[in-house]
Structure 1
Amino acid sequence: MKNRRIIKLMKSAVAVVLLALGIVFVSCKNDNTITNTPAGGSKDYHQTAETKFITADGNKIAYRILGNKAGTPLVLLSPLGNAMDDWDPAITNGLAQKYKVIIFDLPGVGTSSGATPDNIPDMAKESVSFIKGLGYNKVNLLGFSMGSFISQQIALTEPALVNKIILTGTGPKGSEGLSDLPKFLAASANLTPEQVFLASFFASSATSQSAGKSAYERVQERQVNRDAPISPEGFTNEVKAVLGWAQPNTGALTELKSVTQPVLIVQGQEDALVPVVNAINMSKSLPNARLIVYPDAAHAAFFQYHDDFVKNALEFLGK
């Protein structure tokens, strides 16, 4: 009976959040490349990157390459409910000045075909298939929230593929507070899309909320050939995956000791979705980790402190 109540709560939470986010279904072009060229020919990686497709594990995976720098590329792994256009351009453009940045949609998310996996290990497998399908045998990873869980799993199961890792809004398996996700989703029922963004990603102070409004405006900038939003089915499966990661796991921190790659952890002091204690514990378990905690910032601390984050990320990747 308890499991049934949890499932019912989760389904209700998913439904109200999808309504709050204003998610609609849109048709996608069937060609293999969607081009976005804004008037004036201004160079903005996030705005102008083409949407391309590659087949991986039988699914047509949508992706974009921002910039074309030499060296090890940086693959970004998205958080719960997000598609390619939900990344903050201040982050993607800033990183693309020095590195080839690759963003993509998991199966069933955005304009990618297939069914979205309902667990982190399968999401990691799909991500690895995509990366290898592009021909890369070594990449850097940047994972945000759910994307950070996927990044950890890739580092554990495909260590030879990973050069360096950046984790933000993160925590290990069994993260403290993560199982409260359905409550956060249900609390978003009557909020506008912007209010959901601000409540989920930013602290309650006037300073953080102001930074959040600026970030929200940046995220909305790309309008031509914008990526499709996630479907209700995809969102439900992603919630299941995150709640699966949240299950108690006494060996999680010990397991992370096997991850020897350099890891940069970035967390907000006021993160309610994945409390900062999780990042602190991870930084003590990972053999080669550096932790940055931003004050008066929450789950998307790196959106709020985007200039400082980009500077630190580029330094970390360049060492």
Structure 2
Amino acid sequence: MTSKIRMASMTMLALLTMLTLGFAACSKKEDPGKDPAIVDDHQHATTQFVVAGDTKYAYRVLGSQPGIPVVMLSPLGSAMDDWDPAVTDGFSRKYKVILFDNQGVGASTGKTPATIADMAKGAITFIKALGYERVNLVGFSMGSFIAQQIALTAPELINKMVLTGVGPKGSEGLSRLPDIIAGGQGLDPEAQFLYFGFTASDESRSAGKAAFQRILLRQQDRDLPLSNESSVAQLTAVLAWAQPSPDALKELAAVKVPVLLIQGKEDKPVPVINAINMSEYLPNARLMVYTDAGHAALFQLADKFVKDGIDFLSE
């Protein structure tokens, strides 16, 4: 393990919410009786568990809308409570929303994989354990990498995808992640959150502060923070995803599911050129670029992100 990875991992553990990376009719069965619907919001939803293989997955269900659910795929360093309630509750007004911790993350058991491919296998296992045959995916940063891998290996499981903070394998600029994380050391948690996910403008910073406070709203039954082992594994997986991959964009031509790419124009860890490149290779993709927005564009412009996402999913 390089010293940079160790340093970045310890930085992640020191932050409360900074690492937000990494910050239609369907064939789904009726909701399985073993998983009762929970009608609740982000702040109060009950943590539930489902066992699949050697892992007990922790998850929460927001809302009780019928149809294809929305499964949220988390960014680097994040568990269920690191999502902005404005985003999760926003989607739950139209869709059942499922938050979960992948293997070894938060309240889930098991060992966190050190590759995106194995994280995708964990997500697939979890979704199938709930009895779903098709879902919508909302993936943020590392979650968007996992979504891409699912689309390549289990496309029949996906209805549509909304991806943000997104880049293909070999993403331009992503290998600089340890240096970007190190640049936020010494700042308090809110300042680190703003540094990593928002721009320098007053409007962006103000929206970032509001998002930070929303993320802290849940007081009871908060999810467990990531362990040092899980943090290192996740960072290792993301940095491996960042390694040059000449055929990565060509591989995306095989992804036929509809994809909405939403990217902040000033995304620091995953520059906007990556989403632009992906939109040119994905055969059924739409690209939206939010101006004066960074990596956490979905939190800064939560209402717009939710509306754009729901409009896309509802088409």
The aligned counterpart of 1:55 is: 51
The aligned counterpart of 1:282 is: 278
1:139-167 CA deviation, whole Å, 9 max, x = no partner? Answer: 11000000000000000000110110010
> Are 1:170 and 2:166 an aligned pair?
yes
Q: Structure 1: state its 5+ residue gaps.
A: 24-32, 37-42
- The answer (yes or no) to whether the contact 1:19–1:189 under 8 Å persists in 2 is no
Which residues of 2 match residues 162-201 of structure 1 at below 5 A?
Answer: 162-201=158-197
- The answer (yes or no) to whether the contact 1:174–1:247 under 8 Å persists in 2 is yes
SS in 1 for 2:226: coil
Q: Which runs of 4+ in 1 moved over 2 A?
A: 19-23
> Are 1:12 and 2:7 an aligned pair?
yes
Which residues of 2 match residues 114-125 of structure 1 at below 5 A?
Answer: 114-125=110-121
> Are 1:249 and 2:255 an aligned pair?
no
Question: How many Å separate the matches in 1 of 2:71 and 2:134?
Answer: 10
Which residues of 2 match residues 92-131 of structure 1 at below 5 A?
Answer: 92-131=88-127
- The answer (yes or no) to whether the contact 1:20–1:191 under 8 Å persists in 2 is no
SS in 2 for 1:115: coil
- The answer (yes or no) to whether the contact 1:79–1:144 under 8 Å persists in 2 is yes
- The answer (yes or no) to whether the contact 1:57–1:126 under 8 Å persists in 2 is no
Q: CA 1:22–1:199 in 2, change beyond 3 Å: closer, same or farther? A: closer
The aligned counterpart of 2:213 is: 217
Q: CA 1:101–1:21 in 2, change beyond 3 Å: closer, same or farther? A: closer
Q: CA deviation at 1:228?
A: 1.0
Q: CA deviation at 1:44?
A: 5.7
Q: CA deviation at 1:247?
A: 0.7
- The answer (yes or no) to whether the contact 1:77–1:142 under 8 Å persists in 2 is yes
Question: How many Å separate the matches in 2 of 1:126 and 1:46?
Answer: 23
The aligned counterpart of 1:226 is: 222
SS in 2 for 1:307: helix
Q: CA deviation at 1:20?
A: 4.1
The aligned counterpart of 1:143 is: 139
TM normalised by structure 2 equals: 0.91
Q: CA 1:22–1:172 in 2, change beyond 3 Å: closer, same or farther? A: closer
Q: Structure 2: state its 5+ residue gaps.
A: 19-34
Q: CA deviation at 1:302?
A: 1.2
- The answer (yes or no) to whether the contact 1:263–1:289 under 8 Å persists in 2 is yes
- The answer (yes or no) to whether the contact 1:56–1:126 under 8 Å persists in 2 is no
Number of residue pairs the alignment of both structures matches: 297
Match of 2:311 among 305, 308, 315: 315
The aligned counterpart of 2:265 is: 269
TM normalised by structure 1 equals: 0.90
